[in-house]
């Protein structure tokens, strides 16, 4: 797929890429605490699963992108293990906004003719080796530079760093602890229909509010679950996607790693309740040619309950300050107008640094979410679409458009719109 002229591309509006690229394969390793494997081993397994899902072999893949926080294995080693020779690869340092950003990067390098099919992966022993929360292998680093104005004050973990944003939101908009807790309740209901979920047990608002306080306003159950796993999505052109085993999830629009001013200390500028999605939405929606009202399923980066509400507000799914209402009125529940994190997300399925919500939405678009519905004579699940209390289904009916909202912290975000072909 070649563009007629590079000069046609406006870097802030790459509409020329709309629907020309697709995710054709998704794969993961089990969401566990204590994988007993290296990140190198986890990555090869996840990519292998995604290759089988796409019906691709080693010779079909020639690009690889990964991100980590110095806790993974670089792409060339993984490629070598899988018998893949790369024409383009990049390992970057980055948080949860990397998922959509690297998928966007994959479309760009394919468009530039640098490679043809890209595996994007994230491998982490996020529970048993390096914990994002700051304990374990990362805890002994010296405190220098910017950390002298944060870590020195006992202000270092994501929950601690985001807390002023959350509390200010409650102060300005009257968001209640019960509304925040409801995010976990809803995601836990979704996870209860997900055989792969690390925490499949439904919880109540009271259970969230009575769980141990970690950092106000976050209780233990407001926090995601550190997990050992690897995840992979495979990106190629819409033309090549026709030869793959499963229907493609077309990439309609990507906004990659937008940041607020003063990323070093984003609460220096603007209302701190505004997150990077506020800027990202002005790229995301025009490039997709649609708006929030057209989206059937969302995937939020629920590192914490609260991050979900902030993203939904700033990307325009509801008005600023009304995230609590959006959650409590049932919009994002299975059976609601726009279900969110139908796998249970980071709060319940497992923490993958952003990847599993993309994987879930690809499966939603295919109509092939793995839940507890019966298997039909054709070997496929016969989804009941029963979202009631005793229902076992988490497949949303007729999914045409999904949105994934990536997040690294309040100052950094990325997002992606996918669509059924």
Partner 1 sequence: MLQGDHMGMTLTVLDLDTENLGYFGHCAKHAFHLQQCAKCDLLHYPPTTTCPFCGNPEQTWTPVEGRGTVYSYAEVHHAIQPGFKGHTPYMVLLVELDTQKGKPTEHDALRVVGNFVTPDGEMAPPEMVKTIGIGSRMRMVFRDVSEGLSLPMWTLDEAADQPATPWRYAQE
CA atoms within 13 Å, Cβ hemisphere of 201: 5
- Is 21 an active-site residue? no
**Residue (of 277, 287, 286, 279) closest to 308 by Cα position:** 277
Is residue 268 part of the contact set for partner 1 (CB under 8 A)?
Answer: yes
Tokens at 403, concatenated: 């949105």
Please say which residue, 168 or 420, places its beta carbon nearer to partner 1.
Answer: 168
- Candidates 59, 154, 374, 379: give the one binding partner 1 (CB under 8 A): 154
The only residue of 46, 75, 106, 214 in contact with partner 1, by rule CB under 8 A = 214
Please give the size of the binding site for partner 1, defined by CB under 8 A. 47
Q: Check residue 279 for interaction with partner 1 (CB under 8 A).
A: no
Rule CB under 8 A: is residue 152 a binding residue for partner 1?
A: yes
Per DSSP, the residues of 76-117 read HHHHHHHT---SEEEEEE--TTHHHHHHHHHHHHHHTTS-SE
Q: How near is the Cβ of 375 to partner 1 at its closest, in Å?
A: 43
* Cα 177 to Cα 169, 205, 301, 305, distances in angstroms: 11, 9, 19, 10
- Asked if residues 402 and 361 have their Cβ atoms less than 8 Å apart, the reply is yes
Among 52, 85, 245, 269, which residue sits at the site for partner 1 (rule: CB under 8 A)?
Answer: 269
Tell me the two tokens of residue 27. Answer: 């794969």
Is 301 an active-site residue?
A: yes
Rounded to the nearest 5°, which phi and psi values hold at 407?
Answer: -155, 135
Query: Which stretch in 13-21, 250-258, 261-269, 357-365 sits in contact with partner 1 by CB under 8 A?
Result: 261-269
Binding-site member from 55, 113, 145, 376 for partner 1 (CB under 8 A): 145
Binding mask 215-254 for partner 1 (x = CB under 8 A): xxx-------------------------------------
Closest distance between partner 1 and the C-beta of residue 273, in Å? 9
Both tokens assigned to 259: 């940041």
Instruction: Report the residue number, 266 or 363, with the smaller CB distance to partner 1.
Output: 266
CA distance 135 to 144: 18
Q: Is residue 137 a contact residue for partner 1 (CB under 8 A)?
A: no
Of 369, 367, 358, residue with least CA distance to 406: 358
The nearer residue to partner 1, 160 or 341, going by C-beta atoms, is 160
Handedness of CA 367, 370, 372, 375 (dihedral sign): positive
Among residues 31, 301, 326, 387, the one annotated as catalytic is: 301
- Give the separation between CA 14 and CA 60, rounded to whole angstroms: 26
C-alpha span between 175 and 286 (Å, rounded):
30
Which range, of 4-12, 43-51, 76-84, 257-265, touches partner 1 by CB under 8 A?
257-265
Out of 146, 239, 243, 282, name the contact with partner 1 by CB under 8 A: 146
Q: By CB under 8 A, is residue 144 in contact with partner 1?
A: yes
CA 170 to chain centre: 25
For partner 1, which residue of 74, 76, 108, 134 counts as binding (CB under 8 A)? 134
Spell out, one character per residue from 157 to 186, where the chain touches partner 1: x when CB under 8 A holds, - when not.
Answer: x--xx-xxx-xx-xx----xx---------
Q: Which is nearer to partner 1, 139 or 400 (by Cβ)?
A: 139
Q: Element (H or E) spanning 230, and its range?
A: strand 228-237
Report CA-CA distances (Å) from 260 to 33, 42, 279, 283, 413: 34, 34, 8, 14, 9
Nearer to partner 1, 182 or 250 (CB): 182
Asked if 150 is part of the footprint of partner 1 (rule: CB under 8 A), the reply reads yes
Closest CA to 223 of 308, 409, 347: 347
Nearest approach in angstroms of CB 351 to partner 1 is 17
Under 8 Å between Cβ of 1 and 110? yes
Write out the catalytic residue numbers: 301, 351
Site residues for partner 1 per CB under 8 A: 133-135, 139, 142-146, 148-157, 160-161, 163-165, 167-168, 170-171, 176-177, 209, 212-217, 261-262, 264-265, 267-272
């Amino acid at each position: 797929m070649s563009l007629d002229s590079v000069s046609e591309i406006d870097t802030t509006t790459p509409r020329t890429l709309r629907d020309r690229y697709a995710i054709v394969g998704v794969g993961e390793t089990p969401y566990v605490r204590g994988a007993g494997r290296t990140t190198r081993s986890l990555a090869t397994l996840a990519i292998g699963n995604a290759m089988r899902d796409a019906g691709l072999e080693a010779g079909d893949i020639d690009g690889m992108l990964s991100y980590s926080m110095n806790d993974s294995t670089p792409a060339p080693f993984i490629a070598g293990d899988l018998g893949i020779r790369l024409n383009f690869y990049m390992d970057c340092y980055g948080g949860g906004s990397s998922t959509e950003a690297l998928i966007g990067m994959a479309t760009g390098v394919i468009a530039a003719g640098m490679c043809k099919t890209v595996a994007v992966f994230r491998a982490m022993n996020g529970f048993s080796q390096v914990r994002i929360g700051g304990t374990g292998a990362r805890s002994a680093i010296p405190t220098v530079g910017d950390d002298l104005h944060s870590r020195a004050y006992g202000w270092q973990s994501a929950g601690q760093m985001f807390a002023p944003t959350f509390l200010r939101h409650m102060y300005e908009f009257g968001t209640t602890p019960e509304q925040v807790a409801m995010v976990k309740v809803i995601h836990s209901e979704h996870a209860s229909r997900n055989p792969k979920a690390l925490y499949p047990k439904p919880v109540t608002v009271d259970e969230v509010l009575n769980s141990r306080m970690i950092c106000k306003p976050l209780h233990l159950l407001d926090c995601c679950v550190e997990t050992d796993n690897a995840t992979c999505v495979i990106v190629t052109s819409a033309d090549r996607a026709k030869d793959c085993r499963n229907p493609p999830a077309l990439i309609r629009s990507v906004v990659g790693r937008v940041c607020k001013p003063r990323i070093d200390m984003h609460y220096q500028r603007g209302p701190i309740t505004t997150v990077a999605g506020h800027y990202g939405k002005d790229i995301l929606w025009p490039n997709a040619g649609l708006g929030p009202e057209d989206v059937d399923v969302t995937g939020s980066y629920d590192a914490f309950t609260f991050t979900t509400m902030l993203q939904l507000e700033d990307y325009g799914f509801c008005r600023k300050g009304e995230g609590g209402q959006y959650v409590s009125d049932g919009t994002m529940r299975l059976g609601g107008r726009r279900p969110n994190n139908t796998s249970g997300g980071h709060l319940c399925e497992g923490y993958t640094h952003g990847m599993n919500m993309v994987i879930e939405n690809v499966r939603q678009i295919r109509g092939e979410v793995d839940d507890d519905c019966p298997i039909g004579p054709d070997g496929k699940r016969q989804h009941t679409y029963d979202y009631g209390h005793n229902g076992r289904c988490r497949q949303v009916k007729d999914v045409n458009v999904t949105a994934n909202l990536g997040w690294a912290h309040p100052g950094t975000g990325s997002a992606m719109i996918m669509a059924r072909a």
